[in-house]
Amino acid sequence: MQRIRKTSVLALLTLQLLVIHAVAQDQIPTYTTKTRRFKIPYTVTSMDASAVTTLWVSVDRGKAWSAFAKETGQGGSFQFQTKQDGEYWFRSQTGAEQVSSGSNPQLRVYVDATPPRIQITARNLPEGDVLIESLVTDQTVVANQVLMQITTGPNSPWEVLPFQGKPVRLENGDVRAVSRYKPTTASRVVVVRTIARDGAGNTTGLTKQVFVTPSS
């Protein structure tokens, strides 16, 4: 059996991995990446240069493992590619031994190649203010990387909309941000923009026209 070296993984994936941390309870290296294709290096401690090394992968957190690729030699890398986002567990080992259900990974990679989805809703309040809500859907979205802005006209600069409280993560993983805007011009239409960045570095923005009650 051999180990996957964290330093080698980092060296090969420096340009692709945005968030890197070790899980506290078991120190298993865990990475988040926005690419669906990356290399996983390995080293073999066996003196047998002809040893066959198998990369095993699990998509259900260790309940079931399947052999993904085989390599010979005392070191090298596996080229992993997937068509879907999700959490992938990896183990590499020599010989014909199967990886049993419930085994821990040597490496975890969360693939997130999909930018966040944003919804913006606005509601005019009786006193003339506008309540603006942004809902960001993404399992790795960073709550403090959500920004709301407003402009009152095509020649006006974008201004930051302050939140009513901090953006909060809901039970389903979405992030909800709310702002309250008080019209200060005679314009009946303003444009609101929300920008969000997820843990893999994917960034997206959405703009929406909002009809308001102009100030007197």
pLDDT score of 137 more than 60: yes
- Within-domain flag for 1: no
**What pLDDT is recorded for position 12?**
43
Cα distance between residue 21 and residue 80, in whole Å: 20
pLDDT at residue number 73: 78
pLDDT at 27 (0 to 100)? 78
Do residues 158 and 74 share a domain?
no
Asked if residue 45 is part of any domain, the answer here is yes
Burial 138-174 (b: 16+ CB within 10 A, else e): bbbbbeebbbbbbbbeeeeeeeebebeeebeeeeeeb
Q: Is residue 216 part of a domain?
A: no
Residues 53 and 105 in one domain: yes
Q: What percent of the chain has pLDDT over 70?
A: 85
pLDDT at 90: 95
Same domain (yes/no): 81, 133: no
Distance CA 134, CA 175 (A): 8
pLDDT value for 125: 92
pLDDT tens-digit profile of 27-78? 788 898 999 999 998 887 766 667 788 999 999 999 999 999 998 877 788 9
Last residue of a domain, one of 111, 127, 148: 111
> For residue 20, what is the domain's CATH number?
2.60.40
Q: Residues 103, 137: one domain?
A: no
Give pLDDT tens digits for 78-130. 999 999 999 999 998 887 778 999 999 999 999 999 999 999 999 999 888 99
Return mean pLDDT, the chain: 84
59 and 129, same domain (yes or no): no
* pTM for the full predicted model: 0.74
Is 135 a domain residue?
yes
Task: Report the CATH number that the domain containing residue 126 is assigned in CATH.
Answer: 2.60.40.10
Q: Which domain holds residue 175?
A: 117-211
Residue 175 and residue 135 in one domain: yes
pLDDT of residue 51: 78
* 98 and 130 housed in the same domain: no
Q: What is the count of structural domains for the chain? A: 2
